[in-house]
Every structure is written in C-alpha cells, then in structure tokens.
Amino acid sequence: MVSLLGSRSSDTSITPAVDESGSGKVTARIGIIGVGPRGLTVLERIVAHERQRRSGDIEMILFDPNPPGTGCHDPEQSDIHLVNTVAGQLTQFSDPSVVGAGPVMKGPTFFQWLQEQSALGALRTVDADRISPDDYYPRGLFGRYLIWVFRYVCALAPAHVRIVCKRTTVTRAHRTEDGSWVLETADAKVPVDYLFLTTGHTKPARPARVAQTLRVTGLETVVIDDPFPMQVKLSGITATMTVAVEGMGLTAFDVISDLTVGRGGRFTKCMVTGNLNYHRSGHEPRILLFSRSGIPLGARAVNQKGVSNQYRPRFLFADKLRELRARRRLDFGTDVMPLLIADMEHAYYEAYLRERKDAASALLFSHQFPHADAAQRRALIARYIPEPDRFSWDSLASPIPVDALSDRATFRHWLAAHLHRDVQEARKGNLDSSVKAACDVLRDLRDNLRAAIEFGGLTEESHRWVLSEFLPIMNRLAVGPPQSRITEMIALMQADVLQADFGPGARCTVPSHGGLMRVSAQRWPSHWTEVHALVRARISMHSPKADASSLLRGLLDDGHVRLFHNGSFHPGGIEIDPNHNWVDATGSIVENAWALGIPTEGIKFCTFVIPRTGVNSTAMADAGRAVCCLLSAIARRNEGHAFTAADVLPTEEDASAFASLHGSL
C-alpha cells in the first residue's frame, strides 16, 4: 500500500518547480485553500480527469488546518450531533447524472461507506443490521467519511499527480509579475501557478467570548457568538444558569442537544404513541429558545423518494427562466413565485388525493393540473378539494394565527400543538404527507431557483426580498432537522427544561439600567427573563469584507477579487464568472484562480449543500467546470510536449483498502 502514496508528501518546504531535462516541461502547481467538501470536489475532479488523460505533471498543494476533507464536520465531535440529510443522498463522488464535469470516478456514497466500514468492523457505534439509506447519522461520522474519501482519492491519483497536504492556514496570497501566486503561511511562502479558493464557513471579524472563562457575577451576561466547538465553548455553562439560545435552526438544535443529552440527560420512547419523555440528569441549565419567527425549522419528513428521485417540475422550468432572463432581469414575486407555488400545489394535491380519495383521482388531477391555465386550475381545485383543506402559501409562510398571539399562555399551547402536527406530517413521509410533499418541492427545485437568481438574474429589489424574506421561509419549510429533533424539543418543553414561548420578534437585550441581559417577548413586553449566558446559534453568512480571515481581506485590499454587487446591493461573496474564475477590482477575469462554495454565496445561491448522488449535483458540476478550465490551461502550456500515459493505474479496490486500513478512522 505504501507505493500508492509513494510520491505524496506532507513536507512543509517547497521550492519552485524547475525543468532539469531542458525539455521545457514544468510541473503545474495547484494550490487549494480549504479542503472541506468543496475542496474535495476539486481534488476528485482533477484526479478523475488525470486518470483518463494526462494534461501534464501536476503537484496539488492543499491547505487546511483541519483534517483534510472534513471542513466543519469535525470527526471528533459528539455523536449527538446529526447531519440533516439522509445517508443515501450524501456523496463526494461524481456520477453519470452530472453534466459537463468530466469522467466518472467510482466511489461510495456515505450510506455505501457505512455498509463497507461496518462489514470491516470499523464502526462499532453503528448497528450493522440497521444501517439505512434513509436514516440520519452523526456529523462526526460523516467527517470520518470525508477523511476516508480524501485518502481514497489520493490513493487513486496517477504517478504524475503529486499531492501535498499542509495542515496550516494561508494568511495572504500575493500575485507575482508573471501572474502566478505566492501563498503565505505562518512558516512558509509557497509558490503556485493556479489557485482554488474553497474555504467554506469562516468567522466574522469580531471578538468571540469563550464560555470556558465564564464567570457569572450577577451583573453581566456572557455572550457566546460562535458555539463551535461546543464541548469547549459551552463548557462553562452550569446547571444553575439560565441560558438564552438565539435562533431556532440547525445550530440551535445542536446547542440544545449538547446542553441536555450531552450533559447526561436521556430520552425514552413511549411504545404506544411514539412520543418521547425526557429524564433529567441534573446538569442541564434552564434553556430559553427564541428567534425572529418564533417557531423552529420544520421537521424533515421520512424519505420516501429513495436516493435520487426528486419532484419533477410542471411549471418552474429552468430553461424557461433562462429564456426570460435573456430578455430582462426577473422579479421573483412576479416571474418565479407563481410558478413555484403552482408546483407546490401540484405536489400537495396529488398527495392529498391519494390519501383522502383514491389513486385514480390523484392521477387524473395530476394530469389535468399542469395543462390548465390559472383560472382552470382554480376550478379544478374547487371541484376536487374542500376549501378548508386547500394549499395556502400564506399559511406555510406565516403559520401563527392572530388569535394565538393574544397572550403568552395561548401561544405556548398553540406552539405545542403546531410541533405535534409537524411531527405527525413528517412521519407520513415526503410523498404521502401533502404538506411535506409541497415543502419538499422547495428543496427539489433548488437548481431551478438558481437558474433565476444566480449571476444577477433578479432585479436588485427582488434580490433583497429573496434573501431577507423568502430564503428564511424556504429554510424553515424545506431544510430542517430530522423529525426526531422536533420530538425531542416537545419532550424538553414538557419536562420544563426548554422554554420557547416568547413568540415572534423576541429579543435579548441589556436593560437601560445595566445588569444581566433579558429575553423579552415583543408581543408581551412585560414578559421577560434574565439570562446568565446568550448563545448566538446562527451560522454567519457575512461578507468577505467583514471576515476574520486575513487572506480574504488581503485579496480584497490588493484588488485580486472584488465583492459581488447586484446594483447597489451586496448580497455577500466575491464576484466570479460562469467558470468560477475570480473577477478582480478592475472587472478583469483572473484566469488562473477560481472560487467555489461559500466564498461565492451571493452571486451563487445555496452553496453550502453537500453533493447528492444521481441529481446532477450543482457542487460537482461547478467543480467540474472549473477543473476543465484549469486542465485546459495546463494542456495549452504543455502544447507540443509528449506525455506517456501511466502503464498501471491504482485500482479502486487498492485505494479502498488503503483508505480503510491506513491509520485510525
């Protein structure tokens, strides 16, 4: 196995590539800054291409302080933290569905990897007989999969591709006179010819107060801006404290889990109802949960779609949106929203009729509905669906009825009933529940929404509305936690460990006279509670200009990149062209530098998703497009020089064995 990585190194000293043969051929040096899932897609695409056709001698230098591949998926974190996508839909490998990304290099999905590793006896915390493509598994376990993928891809690299992994942070990137780059780390300056920026989630430039030093004096509330890593950041919180958690999204559920089952509490299941009861350990703090909307993300429904089955649009066609964009910028509310709602209605009514009437009625309706105009669709709905049961976007977007806000006790009872209904719908599944089938359309048609939004496709005003109003609703309806998290939330509320009855618009502020911060209900100002700690449980999607990274700030200051603007609106991220090349301060294309993922969130849309198998994954397609440009540039530079193909390539079997057996998983 050693021969598989015989040409790979973790050396920190790197000198410029030189041609000692006099042939004019040089090694192309490629720097990849950030080796999480996005950086892995670049690595995987380069290796896949070079196994099929040699572009030239290549050296890839990967920079990341974390274990290569993992990104924010720390393999050492507690198993109580779950990914919010089922195992069968997570992958780091391309497949035949991906268009224009180059050759397919076979590799296991997360689910297949779980099966393989379990068969080897490497996953003692997972029941081998119960591994399912439709279950949610620990995020730390997914981090171990990503490490395995990194080793596997490295082991598949042909001999002319050298991979160097540097466990460090790039603090600055300098452009040389010949257009190449020098990447500065704490202990080296590394020259590269080509550069990929795939840094993923980064931190905003603000001082973070760490809970490890938490001392409650009765006069000051400790604010934890960034709760990761939780074992460190939340370690100072004790059972005598009241803790406010700002946000009701995925990070908030991680914080709640850490402060409850992470402190020794446990859930037991009622075999009759399927509901949970929570048993205190005595180490839990009092937890107050609040957010702008006042309600948590909706539970993900039981997956009934398999690995790659998605809702197929009947109205919101990507090619139609592109045709319209060729003539003018789009208004999301006028041009996109009616089509999206029509598709959600179609999915809703098809599931409704299958459940409430029969398959024949559902089939007839689903054939008639897409071919009808708006008036005819209203008539069809009136004929088939009783008025109280009809689809309502407004009810999904703003589910809290006015009378539920009459007082805090009424809202508390409404919220409990709302969560119970959400769990019931989630248990039906994403095809059988009319509500969850409609909400899943938002997730399944993300690529169609991208066709309308990305690269300045919307008017400035419409773009602002999408990010401030539509996207939070979309996230709440379509990308929530497993339903087990909502079931646990109900149990924690019933056990008086968790309080979430502050309603919409609640805030945590410092009173005018000073002292501890207070969580107060906007609707009922007299209802407030003092807190010893405030945990801001949100992932920051800040602008690069506000980033703590000296690398990103330096790239902006030096004019190598510029912020993306849609008119006067800066939605975030740097500007890139359709091939993912940087755009510099003068508007010129930087032809030897690319950016993928979160650094481009702004000109791109929803860049934080992990690749999914069988659905023409946007993450893989983007990486493939950028890598094709890279390898074309390398091939042009080597034009006229002959390269001999490798006689023997590492096999997938050998690479899998190497990745599984080399070191601890």
Question: 514-533: per-residue pLDDT in tens?
Answer: 899 999 999 998 899 999 99
Give the pLDDT mean for 239-244. Answer: 97
pLDDT of residue 8: 38
Q: ∠ CA 414-416-417 to the nearest 5 degrees?
A: 65
Q: 93-97, 205-209, 261-265: which range is least confident on average? A: 205-209
Return the structure tokens found at 463: 């773009």
Of the listed ranges 15-24, 309-318, 387-396, 627-636, the least confidently predicted one is 15-24
pLDDT at 124 over 90: no
Distance between CA atoms of residues 96 and 86, nearest Å: 21
Torsion over CA: 72, 73, 79, 83 (sign)? positive
State which of 183-187, 217-221, 225-229, 648-652 shows the largest mean pLDDT. Answer: 183-187
What is the arrangement of strands in the sheet containing 533-536, beginning at the earlier edge strand?
Answer: 222-224, 533-536, 242-246, 286-290, 498-499
pLDDT (mean) for 313-333: 97
In this structure, of 198-202, 440-444, 494-498, 622-626, the range with the lowest mean pLDDT score is: 198-202
> Among the listed ranges 100-104, 119-123, 165-169, 523-527, which one has the minimum average pLDDT value?
119-123
Distance of alpha carbon 376 from the chain centroid: 39
Question: Does pLDDT of 181 surpass 80?
Answer: yes
Tokens linked to 206: 């603000």
User: In this predicted structure, what is the pLDDT of residue 213?
Assistant: 40
Distance CA 576, CA 626 (A): 11
Q: What whole-number distance in Å separates Cα of residue 334 and Cα of residue 648?
A: 57
Rounded to an integer, what distance in angstroms lies between the CA atom of residue 491 and that of residue 592?
54
- Per-residue model confidence (pLDDT) at position 123: 83
Rounded Cα gap, residues 228 and 241, in angstroms = 20
Residue 206: the pLDDT is 67
Reported in sequence order, the residue ranges of 242-281 that DSSP labels E, i.e. its strands, are: 242-246, 266-269, 276-279
Q: Rounded mean pLDDT of 619-625?
A: 97
Q: What is the pLDDT of residue 207?
A: 54
- Average pLDDT for 337-345: 98
Q: In the predicted model, what is the mean pLDDT of residues 393-412?
A: 97
Residue 14: the pLDDT is 36
Contact between 72 and 201 (Cβ < 8 Å)? yes
**Mean pLDDT of the region 169-195:** 97
pLDDT range class, residue 16, cuts 50, 70, 90: very low
Q: What pLDDT does residue 350 have?
A: 97
* Residue 77 CA, distance from chain mean position: 18
Per the model's pLDDT, the better-predicted residue between 269 and 125 turns out to be 269
Q: Which residue has the tokens 């300098």?
A: 174
The pLDDT assigned to 539 comes to 83
C-alpha 322/C-alpha 450 separation (Å) is 10
Query: Would you call 546 helix, strand, or coil by DSSP?
Result: helix
pTM of the model: 0.93
Cβ(160)–Cβ(643) below 8 Å? yes
Nearest-CA neighbor of 604 among 622, 631, 583, 628? 622
More confident residue, 280 or 126: 280
Mean pLDDT, rounded, for 2-13? 36
Write the pLDDT tens digit of every residue in 566-606: 999 999 999 999 999 999 999 999 999 999 999 999 999 99
Residue type, 351: A
- Amino acid letter at 427? R
Percent of the chain exceeding pLDDT 70 equals 93
User: Distance between alpha carbon 381 and the CA centroid of its chain, in Å?
Assistant: 36
Q: Identify the band that residue 25 occupies on the pLDDT scale cut at 50, 70 and 90.
A: low
Structure-model confidence comparison of residues 643 and 564, the more confident one = 564
Say which residues have a Cβ less than 8 Å from residue 31's Cβ, sequence separation at least 6.
61, 63, 170, 181, 183, 190, 192, 194, 195, 196
pLDDT in tens, 416-473: 999 999 999 999 999 999 999 999 999 999 999 999 999 999 999 999 999 999 999 9
Structure token pair of residue 241: 């404290």
Reduce the DSSP state of residue 254 to 3 states and report it.
Answer: helix
Whole-number pLDDT of residue 645? 66
Please give the Cα distance from 619 to 76 (Å, whole number): 26
* Other CB atoms within 10 Å distance of the CB of residue 213: 9
pLDDT interval class at 26 (50, 70, 90): confident
Can you say whether residue 268 is alpha, beta or left, with left for phi > 0 and alpha for psi between -120 and 50 degrees? Answer: beta
pLDDT at 215: 47
pLDDT at 122 over 70: yes
pLDDT score of 24 more than 60: no
User: Per-residue confidence at 640, pLDDT binned at 50, 70, 90?
Assistant: confident
The token duo for 393 is: 């976007």
- Quote the radius of gyration of the chain (alpha carbons, Å): 26
Query: In whole angstroms, what is the distance from residue 450 CA to residue 34 CA?
Result: 24
Query: Quick one: pLDDT band at residue 214, thresholds 50, 70, 90?
Result: very low
Q: With 80 as the cut, is the pLDDT of residue 12 above it?
A: no
Residue 374 pLDDT exceeds 60? yes
pLDDT for residue 13: 33
Cβ density class 69-84: b for 16+ within 10 Å, e for less: bbbebbbebbebbbbb
Band the pLDDT of 542: cuts 50, 70, 90. confident
Question: How far, in Å, CA of 319 to CA of 408, rounded?
Answer: 48
Cβ proximity of 23 and 136 under 8 Å: no
Confidence at 665, pLDDT banded by 50, 70, 90: very low
Q: What is the arithmetic mean of pLDDT over 394-406?
A: 97
| Contact (CB, 8 A) for 447 and 318 | yes
